[in-house]
Structure 1
Amino acid sequence: MHPTVTSGELSFIDHDFDIDQDAVSNIPDDVQVPKGADKLVPVKVNSDGNCLPSCGSVFAFATPDRSDEMRVRIIKELALNEDAYLDDTFLKKGLTSKNEKSLKSQFA
């Protein structure tokens, strides 16, 4: 079992992260800063096709080194909830009528 941290215990200053200067201006002004934090700072993750699991690993564990674990958790989530993720009604939300064909066959 891995240790967990609360938001008050997590500081990116204590870790070797580079601030993503290009993304700083993309943070909306109305985003609430979590209690106990001074500000939100975007950090860089590898752009090697593994960026979503790397980002999740940084967010959950304060290190990009557990991206493999995040990838496994994503696969487990998708497999355990296959019916929801392959539901055509759910997949069509937000699409126009011209795009309303069977989407699950494209994603599965």
Structure 2
Amino acid sequence: MLFGGDRTCYLPSLDRIQLPDRSTFHSAGALYATWVHEAIHSSGHSSRLARDLSGGKAYAREELVVELLKESPKVLFQVLSDARKAADLISPETPATPPWRSGSVATKSTGQAKNHH
């Protein structure tokens, strides 16, 4: 990690977090929140989790990873659920009917299908 300059970023080519001088942050909390954000980016380095840090769509995805990791698991599951619902609404899939919806289930003793109509 290097302090100085006027920007905050993670530099994958140098595997370094760059932060402005400590005095530019309005509180210790702001400094640590910014550092955590960049540290999560650094976890994607090729020597660690090897996420695509190249930019463009990969950058948008990386920012999503960072922001979601700041949230609780409950928020993460809600976001994933909302995304799935939106995808299903826009482009519904027509999967094969699962056995529990067809009215036919296998019995434990025989393993044979038993109709429940």
Q: TM-score, normalised by structure 1?
A: 0.30
Structure with the greater alpha carbon radius of gyration: 2
If each structure's strand is expressed as a fraction of its own residues, which one has the higher value? 2
Q: TM-score w.r.t. structure 2 length?
A: 0.29
